[in-house]
Protein backbone atom coordinates (compact mmCIF):
# COMPACT_ATOMS: atom_id res chain seq x y z
CA UNK A 1 0.00 0.00 0.00
CA UNK A 2 2.72 2.46 1.01
CA UNK A 3 4.70 1.87 -2.15
CA UNK A 4 1.57 2.32 -4.20
CA UNK A 5 1.07 5.73 -2.62
CA UNK A 6 4.68 6.71 -3.29
CA UNK A 7 4.27 5.74 -6.93
CA UNK A 8 1.16 7.87 -7.11
CA UNK A 9 2.97 10.82 -5.57
CA UNK A 10 5.85 10.67 -8.04
CA UNK A 11 3.54 10.45 -11.03
CA UNK A 12 1.23 13.22 -9.87
CA UNK A 13 4.05 15.65 -9.13
CA UNK A 14 5.92 15.08 -12.35
CA UNK A 15 2.69 15.72 -14.31
CA UNK A 16 1.82 18.77 -12.25
CA UNK A 17 5.23 20.38 -12.80
CA UNK A 18 4.74 20.48 -16.54
CA UNK A 19 1.27 22.06 -16.46
CA UNK A 20 1.04 25.69 -17.63
CA UNK A 21 -2.67 26.36 -18.28
CA UNK A 22 -5.76 26.44 -16.03
CA UNK A 23 -7.65 23.83 -18.04
CA UNK A 24 -4.96 21.15 -17.57
CA UNK A 25 -4.78 22.06 -13.89
CA UNK A 26 -8.45 21.23 -13.56
CA UNK A 27 -8.13 17.85 -15.26
CA UNK A 28 -5.09 17.09 -13.08
CA UNK A 29 -7.19 17.87 -10.03
CA UNK A 30 -9.93 15.53 -11.21
CA UNK A 31 -7.59 12.66 -11.89
CA UNK A 32 -5.54 12.92 -8.68
CA UNK A 33 -7.91 14.45 -6.12
CA UNK A 34 -11.34 13.93 -7.71
CA UNK A 35 -14.07 11.58 -6.53
CA UNK A 36 -12.91 8.76 -8.78
CA UNK A 37 -9.17 9.21 -8.35
CA UNK A 38 -7.05 6.27 -7.08
CA UNK A 39 -6.24 8.23 -3.91
CA UNK A 40 -9.89 8.76 -3.08
CA UNK A 41 -10.54 5.08 -3.73
CA UNK A 42 -7.74 4.15 -1.34
CA UNK A 43 -9.07 6.48 1.34
CA UNK A 44 -12.53 5.01 0.95
CA UNK A 45 -11.21 1.43 1.11
CA UNK A 46 -9.30 2.03 4.35
CA UNK A 47 -12.15 0.73 6.44
CA UNK A 48 -11.85 -2.73 4.95
CA UNK A 49 -8.14 -3.11 5.92
CA UNK A 50 -7.04 -4.95 9.05
CA UNK A 51 -6.52 -2.57 11.96
CA UNK A 52 -2.70 -2.53 11.93
CA UNK A 53 -2.39 -1.80 8.25
CA UNK A 54 -5.28 0.66 8.38
CA UNK A 55 -3.50 2.99 10.74
CA UNK A 56 -0.24 3.29 8.75
CA UNK A 57 -1.97 3.41 5.36
CA UNK A 58 -4.50 5.95 6.58
CA UNK A 59 -1.83 8.31 7.84
CA UNK A 60 0.19 8.00 4.63
CA UNK A 61 -2.84 8.46 2.36
CA UNK A 62 -4.04 11.55 4.22
CA UNK A 63 -0.55 13.01 4.21
CA UNK A 64 -0.40 12.48 0.44
CA UNK A 65 -3.78 14.11 -0.03
CA UNK A 66 -2.69 17.21 1.87
CA UNK A 67 0.59 17.30 -0.02
CA UNK A 68 -1.16 17.09 -3.40
CA UNK A 69 -3.62 19.83 -2.46
CA UNK A 70 -0.80 22.13 -1.38
CA UNK A 71 1.17 21.42 -4.54
CA UNK A 72 -1.91 22.16 -6.62
CA UNK A 73 -2.43 25.51 -4.90
CA UNK A 74 1.22 26.47 -5.50
CA UNK A 75 1.00 25.50 -9.16
CA UNK A 76 -2.21 27.50 -9.55
CA UNK A 77 -0.38 30.62 -8.33
CA UNK A 78 2.44 30.08 -10.82
CA UNK A 79 0.02 29.49 -13.69
CA UNK A 80 -2.02 32.57 -12.78
CA UNK A 81 1.03 34.81 -12.74
CA UNK A 82 2.17 33.45 -16.08
CA UNK A 83 -1.31 34.12 -17.52
CA UNK A 84 -1.21 37.74 -16.34
CA UNK A 85 2.29 38.22 -17.76
CA UNK A 86 1.08 36.80 -21.05
CA UNK A 87 -1.98 39.07 -21.08
CA UNK A 88 0.20 42.12 -20.50
CA UNK A 89 2.53 41.02 -23.29
CA UNK A 90 -0.19 40.67 -25.87
CA UNK A 91 -1.75 43.94 -24.72
CA UNK A 92 -5.03 42.47 -23.40
CA UNK A 93 -4.37 43.89 -19.97
CA UNK A 94 -3.24 47.50 -19.67
CA UNK A 95 -1.90 47.98 -16.17
CA UNK A 96 -1.15 51.63 -16.90
CA UNK A 97 -4.88 52.49 -17.08
CA UNK A 98 -5.91 54.72 -14.17
CA UNK A 99 -7.68 52.86 -11.35
CA UNK A 100 -11.32 53.42 -10.47
CA UNK A 101 -11.48 56.39 -8.13
CA UNK A 102 -12.72 55.68 -4.61
CA UNK A 103 -15.78 57.76 -3.70
CA UNK A 104 -14.94 60.21 -0.97
CA UNK A 105 -17.45 61.45 1.58
CA UNK A 106 -17.78 65.14 2.33
CA UNK A 107 -19.26 67.42 4.95
CA UNK A 108 -22.97 68.14 4.74
CA UNK A 109 -23.72 71.66 3.43
CA UNK A 110 -25.27 72.60 6.79
CA UNK A 111 -22.12 71.42 8.60
CA UNK A 112 -19.90 73.30 6.17
CA UNK A 113 -21.88 76.50 6.69
CA UNK A 114 -21.93 76.11 10.46
CA UNK A 115 -18.16 75.65 10.54
CA UNK A 116 -17.69 78.69 8.35
CA UNK A 117 -19.92 80.75 10.67
CA UNK A 118 -18.15 79.47 13.77
CA UNK A 119 -14.81 80.24 12.11
CA UNK A 120 -15.80 83.89 11.64
CA UNK A 121 -16.85 84.27 15.28
CA UNK A 122 -13.91 82.41 16.79
CA UNK A 123 -11.62 84.72 14.83
CA UNK A 124 -13.35 87.57 16.70
CA UNK A 125 -12.63 85.92 20.06
CA UNK A 126 -15.82 83.91 20.65
CA UNK A 127 -15.65 80.44 22.16
CA UNK A 128 -17.75 77.52 20.82
CA UNK A 129 -20.02 75.74 23.32
CA UNK A 130 -22.61 73.02 22.68
CA UNK A 131 -25.66 72.04 24.72
CA UNK A 132 -28.49 69.53 25.08
CA UNK A 133 -31.20 69.16 22.44
CA UNK A 134 -33.65 67.79 25.01
CA UNK A 135 -34.20 70.75 27.30
CA UNK A 136 -36.23 71.89 30.30
CA UNK A 137 -39.07 74.35 29.94
CA UNK A 138 -37.08 76.48 32.40
CA UNK A 139 -34.12 77.03 30.05
CA UNK A 140 -36.05 77.15 26.79
CA UNK A 141 -38.72 79.59 28.04
CA UNK A 142 -38.99 80.50 31.71
CA UNK A 143 -35.46 81.80 32.28
CA UNK A 144 -35.61 83.60 28.95
CA UNK A 145 -38.40 85.77 30.26
CA UNK A 146 -41.19 83.75 28.64
CA UNK A 147 -43.45 82.62 31.52
CA UNK A 148 -46.00 79.83 31.35
CA UNK A 149 -49.15 80.98 29.53
CA UNK A 150 -47.39 83.98 28.03
CA UNK A 151 -48.56 84.46 24.43
CA UNK A 152 -44.94 84.82 23.30
CA UNK A 153 -44.68 81.04 23.63
CA UNK A 154 -46.68 80.86 20.42
CA UNK A 155 -43.60 82.16 18.61
CA UNK A 156 -42.10 78.68 18.97
CA UNK A 157 -44.24 75.66 18.06
CA UNK A 158 -42.91 73.20 20.60
CA UNK A 159 -42.46 69.45 20.72
CA UNK A 160 -43.04 68.34 24.32
CA UNK A 161 -41.67 65.13 25.79
CA UNK A 162 -44.03 62.61 27.43
CA UNK A 163 -42.16 62.87 30.75
CA UNK A 164 -44.36 64.12 33.62
CA UNK A 165 -43.18 65.44 36.99
CA UNK A 166 -44.95 64.90 40.39
CA UNK A 167 -47.18 67.89 39.74
CA UNK A 168 -48.42 66.32 36.50
CA UNK A 169 -46.62 68.91 34.37
CA UNK A 170 -44.64 68.10 31.24
CA UNK A 171 -41.58 70.33 31.65
CA UNK A 172 -39.32 68.62 29.12
CA UNK A 173 -39.12 69.53 25.45
CA UNK A 174 -36.97 69.53 22.34
CA UNK A 175 -35.32 72.95 22.36
CA UNK A 176 -36.97 75.30 19.88
CA UNK A 177 -33.91 77.55 19.69
CA UNK A 178 -30.32 77.63 20.92
CA UNK A 179 -31.05 80.51 23.33
CA UNK A 180 -31.37 78.22 26.41
CA UNK A 181 -27.58 77.95 26.23
CA UNK A 182 -27.33 81.63 27.15
CA UNK A 183 -28.73 80.68 30.56
CA UNK A 184 -26.73 77.46 30.97
CA UNK A 185 -23.45 79.21 30.19
CA UNK A 186 -24.13 82.29 32.33
CA UNK A 187 -25.26 80.15 35.29
CA UNK A 188 -21.79 78.63 35.37
CA UNK A 189 -19.54 81.58 34.65
CA UNK A 190 -18.87 85.17 35.57
CA UNK A 191 -18.43 87.87 32.94
CA UNK A 192 -16.75 88.49 30.62
CA UNK A 193 -18.30 85.80 28.42
CA UNK A 194 -18.17 85.59 24.64
CA UNK A 195 -19.74 82.38 23.39
CA UNK A 196 -21.34 80.95 20.26
CA UNK A 197 -23.55 77.88 20.25
CA UNK A 198 -24.10 75.88 17.07
CA UNK A 199 -26.68 73.09 17.18
CA UNK A 200 -29.94 71.43 16.24
CA UNK A 201 -33.31 72.86 17.16
CA UNK A 202 -36.83 71.47 16.71
CA UNK A 203 -40.22 72.89 15.84
CA UNK A 204 -43.63 71.28 15.79
CA UNK A 205 -44.42 72.31 12.26
CA UNK A 206 -45.76 70.75 9.10
CA UNK A 207 -42.85 70.47 6.69
CA UNK A 208 -42.95 72.26 3.37
CA UNK A 209 -40.49 74.04 1.10
CA UNK A 210 -39.64 76.61 3.77
CA UNK A 211 -40.21 74.65 7.02
CA UNK A 212 -38.45 71.68 8.57
CA UNK A 213 -39.16 70.20 11.99
CA UNK A 214 -35.41 70.01 12.65
CA UNK A 215 -32.84 72.57 11.58
CA UNK A 216 -29.68 74.24 12.83
CA UNK A 217 -29.09 77.53 14.56
CA UNK A 218 -26.04 79.42 15.68
CA UNK A 219 -26.53 81.47 18.84
CA UNK A 220 -24.05 84.04 20.05
CA UNK A 221 -23.78 86.32 23.05
CA UNK A 222 -21.34 88.51 24.91
CA UNK A 223 -21.60 89.94 28.40
CA UNK A 224 -19.19 92.32 30.07
CA UNK A 225 -18.99 95.82 31.52
CA UNK A 226 -19.83 98.50 28.96
CA UNK A 227 -21.14 96.28 26.17
CA UNK A 228 -23.44 98.39 24.02
CA UNK A 229 -25.68 98.12 21.02
CA UNK A 230 -22.75 99.47 18.98
CA UNK A 231 -20.78 96.31 19.84
CA UNK A 232 -23.70 94.18 18.66
CA UNK A 233 -23.96 96.11 15.42
CA UNK A 234 -20.23 96.10 14.75
CA UNK A 235 -19.95 92.36 15.42
CA UNK A 236 -22.90 91.38 13.23
CA UNK A 237 -22.14 93.76 10.37
CA UNK A 238 -18.60 92.41 10.23
CA UNK A 239 -19.96 88.85 10.32
CA UNK A 240 -22.29 89.60 7.37
CA UNK A 241 -19.44 91.05 5.34
CA UNK A 242 -17.22 88.05 6.01
CA UNK A 243 -19.95 85.55 5.15
CA UNK A 244 -21.69 87.32 2.26
CA UNK A 245 -18.98 89.55 0.85
CA UNK A 246 -17.33 92.92 1.58
CA UNK A 247 -19.81 95.02 -0.37
CA UNK A 248 -22.85 93.81 1.64
CA UNK A 249 -24.91 96.39 3.47
CA UNK A 250 -26.74 95.48 6.65
CA UNK A 251 -29.82 96.92 8.34
CA UNK A 252 -31.28 96.73 11.82
CA UNK A 253 -35.00 97.09 12.44
CA UNK A 254 -37.01 96.80 15.63
CA UNK A 255 -38.24 93.34 16.49
CA UNK A 256 -39.55 91.61 19.56
CA UNK A 257 -38.01 88.76 21.53
CA UNK A 258 -38.91 88.51 25.23
CA UNK A 259 -35.29 87.94 26.30
CA UNK A 260 -33.79 91.07 24.72
CA UNK A 261 -34.48 94.78 25.05
CA UNK A 262 -34.24 96.42 22.63
CA UNK A 263 -34.72 93.63 20.11
CA UNK A 264 -33.87 93.78 16.42
CA UNK A 265 -33.93 91.80 13.22
CA UNK A 266 -31.00 92.15 10.91
CA UNK A 267 -31.24 92.10 7.13
CA UNK A 268 -28.60 92.33 4.41
CA UNK A 269 -29.16 94.01 1.07
CA UNK A 270 -30.20 91.45 -1.53
CA UNK A 271 -27.16 90.07 -3.34
CA UNK A 272 -29.17 89.02 -6.37
CA UNK A 273 -30.59 92.45 -7.24
CA UNK A 274 -28.27 94.57 -5.05
CA UNK A 275 -31.27 96.11 -3.38
CA UNK A 276 -33.32 96.92 -6.47
CA UNK A 277 -35.97 94.31 -5.69
CA UNK A 278 -36.38 90.78 -7.08
CA UNK A 279 -38.05 87.46 -6.40
CA UNK A 280 -35.50 86.37 -3.77
CA UNK A 281 -36.06 89.44 -1.58
CA UNK A 282 -39.79 89.64 -2.47
CA UNK A 283 -39.15 93.02 -4.03
CA UNK A 284 -38.03 94.60 -0.79
CA UNK A 285 -34.32 94.75 -1.60
CA UNK A 286 -33.54 93.25 1.84
CA UNK A 287 -33.16 89.72 3.17
CA UNK A 288 -33.71 89.04 6.85
CA UNK A 289 -31.01 86.80 8.32
CA UNK A 290 -31.21 86.90 12.10
CA UNK A 291 -32.74 88.07 15.35
CA UNK A 292 -30.73 89.89 18.02
CA UNK A 293 -30.79 92.42 20.82
CA UNK A 294 -29.39 93.54 24.15
CA UNK A 295 -29.87 90.85 26.80
CA UNK A 296 -32.88 91.73 28.98
CA UNK A 297 -31.98 92.88 32.53
CA UNK A 298 -34.45 90.31 33.91
CA UNK A 299 -32.48 87.52 32.19
CA UNK A 300 -29.19 88.79 33.64
CA UNK A 301 -30.68 89.10 37.11
CA UNK A 302 -31.86 85.48 37.02
CA UNK A 303 -28.30 84.21 36.54
CA UNK A 304 -27.01 86.59 39.24
CA UNK A 305 -25.36 89.04 36.89
CA UNK A 306 -26.00 92.57 38.20
CA UNK A 307 -27.63 94.45 35.26
CA UNK A 308 -26.40 97.75 36.73
CA UNK A 309 -22.83 96.56 36.23
CA UNK A 310 -23.03 94.20 33.28
CA UNK A 311 -24.69 94.43 29.90
CA UNK A 312 -24.64 92.07 26.96
CA UNK A 313 -25.89 91.35 23.49
CA UNK A 314 -27.29 88.15 21.97
CA UNK A 315 -28.18 86.97 18.50
CA UNK A 316 -29.53 83.82 16.90
CA UNK A 317 -29.73 82.73 13.29
CA UNK A 318 -30.75 79.80 11.13
CA UNK A 319 -27.92 77.93 9.42
CA UNK A 320 -29.63 76.39 6.38
CA UNK A 321 -30.91 79.81 5.45
CA UNK A 322 -27.39 80.93 4.50
CA UNK A 323 -26.72 78.32 1.74
CA UNK A 324 -30.39 78.59 0.70
CA UNK A 325 -29.82 82.28 -0.02
CA UNK A 326 -26.34 81.88 -1.40
CA UNK A 327 -27.14 79.11 -3.87
CA UNK A 328 -30.82 79.81 -4.52
CA UNK A 329 -31.99 76.47 -3.06
CA UNK A 330 -35.77 76.46 -3.32
CA UNK A 331 -36.67 73.69 -0.84
CA UNK A 332 -35.26 73.29 2.68
CA UNK A 333 -36.35 69.62 2.72
CA UNK A 334 -33.50 68.83 0.30
CA UNK A 335 -31.05 69.20 3.19
CA UNK A 336 -32.35 66.20 5.09
CA UNK A 337 -33.74 63.85 2.45
CA UNK A 338 -30.39 62.13 1.76
CA UNK A 339 -30.47 62.63 -1.99
CA UNK A 340 -26.86 62.35 -3.17
CA UNK A 341 -27.65 64.30 -6.34
CA UNK A 342 -28.24 67.28 -4.07
CA UNK A 343 -25.55 66.64 -1.47
CA UNK A 344 -22.74 66.04 -3.99
CA UNK A 345 -23.08 69.57 -5.28
CA UNK A 346 -21.47 71.02 -2.16
Q: Largest alpha-carbon pair distance within the chain? A: 108
CB 229 within 8 A of CB 249: no
Query: CB 114 → ligand PHE: shortest distance, Å?
Result: 15
Cβ-proximal residues to 68 (8 Å cutoff; 6+ apart), any chain: 9, 12, 32, 33, 39
DSSP H helices in 90-140: 109-123, 137-140
In the shown chain, the binding pattern of residues 39 to 78 toward ligand PHE, with x for contact by CB under 6 A and - for none, equals: ----------------------------------------
Based on the shown chain and the rule CB under 6 A, indicate whether residue 239 belongs to the binding site for ligand PHE.
no
Based on the shown chain and the rule CB under 6 A, indicate whether residue 316 belongs to the binding site for ligand PHE.
yes
148 is catalytic: no
Cis status of the peptide bond prior to 272, with omega within 30 of 0: no
CB 117 within 8 A of CB 322: yes
Binding positions for ligand PHE, 192-221, rule CB under 6 A? 219
29 is catalytic: no
Query: CB 257 → ligand PHE: shortest distance, Å?
Result: 4
Nearest CA-CA partner of 332 in 203, 157, 219: 203
156 is catalytic: yes
Catalytic residue among 57, 193, 195, 260: 260
Catalytic residue among 156, 195, 264, 321: 156
DSSP H or E segment with residue 250? strand 250-255
Q: Which of the 8 DSSP states describes residue 208?
A: B
Based on the shown chain and the rule CB under 6 A, indicate whether residue 292 belongs to the binding site for ligand PHE.
yes
Please select the residue that binds ligand PHE; options are 109, 191, 258, 291, rule is CB under 6 A: 291
Active site residues: 156, 177, 203, 217, 260, 314
Which residues of the chain form contacts with ligand PHE (CB under 6 A)?
Answer: 177, 179, 219, 257, 260, 291-293, 314-316
Amino acid sequence: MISKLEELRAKAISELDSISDPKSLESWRISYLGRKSPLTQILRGLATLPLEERRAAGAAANELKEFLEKSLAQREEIVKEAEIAKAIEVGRLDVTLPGRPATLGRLHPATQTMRQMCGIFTAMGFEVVEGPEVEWDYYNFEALNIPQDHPARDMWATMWMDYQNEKGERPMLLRTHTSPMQIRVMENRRPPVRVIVPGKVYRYEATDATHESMFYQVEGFAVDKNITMADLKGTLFEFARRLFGKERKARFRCDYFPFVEPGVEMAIDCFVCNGAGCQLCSNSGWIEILGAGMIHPEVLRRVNYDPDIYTGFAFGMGVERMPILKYGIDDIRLFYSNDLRFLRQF
